[in-house]
Amino acid sequence: DIQMTQSPSSLSASVGDRVTITCRASQSIRSYLNWYQQKPGKAPKLLIYTASSLQSGVPSRFSGSGSGTDFTLTISSLQPDDFATYYCQQSYTTPWTFGQGTKVEFK
């Protein structure tokens, strides 16, 4: 199975900060990497697909980059609505696997 490792596991940030979350795959997954946001008690929401494509309706402050084994999710200017947990997920091969999550908390 492909292991997905996110870092950090949690971070504290303030409104307006630039936030970067990384995701590393245990082997190359080309660009088959998706990012999701989840708030407590809610279903995950797709933010980015195939590493860098912005899902319709998602604010442009979210961006994704990377290919192969190393990927990044960037929030250019953190907003109050962005405090949540973020997950990466590979769809290169089954079993699809998720990272352990990165919780973005208010500083």
Q: Which string of x and - marks every residue 32-71 that binds other proteins (by CB under 8 A)?
A: x-x-x-x---xxxxx--xx--x-x----------------
* Span near other proteins by CB under 8 A; candidates 16-24, 59-67, 75-83, 91-99: 91-99
**Smallest gap from residue 21 Cβ to other proteins (A):** 14
Instruction: Kindly list the distances between the CA atom of residue 37 and the CA atoms of 1, 7, 51, 54, 68, in Å, as whole numbers in the listed order.
Output: 23, 15, 14, 13, 22
Lookup: tokens for 81: 């609505």
Strands 62-67 and 102-106: unpaired
Degrees, nearest 5: CA angle 52-54-60: 110
* Span near other proteins by CB under 8 A; candidates 17-25, 26-34, 66-74, 75-83: 26-34
Lookup: tokens for 20: 């970067």
Give whichever of 64 and 82 is closer to other proteins, judged by the CB atom. Answer: 64
Q: Could you tell me which of 24, 14, 34, 36 has the C-alpha nearest to residue 104? A: 14
Give whichever of 38 and 69 is closer to other proteins, judged by the CB atom. Answer: 38
Binding site for other proteins (CB under 8 A): 1, 31-32, 34, 36, 38, 42-46, 49-50, 53, 55, 87, 89, 91-92, 94-101
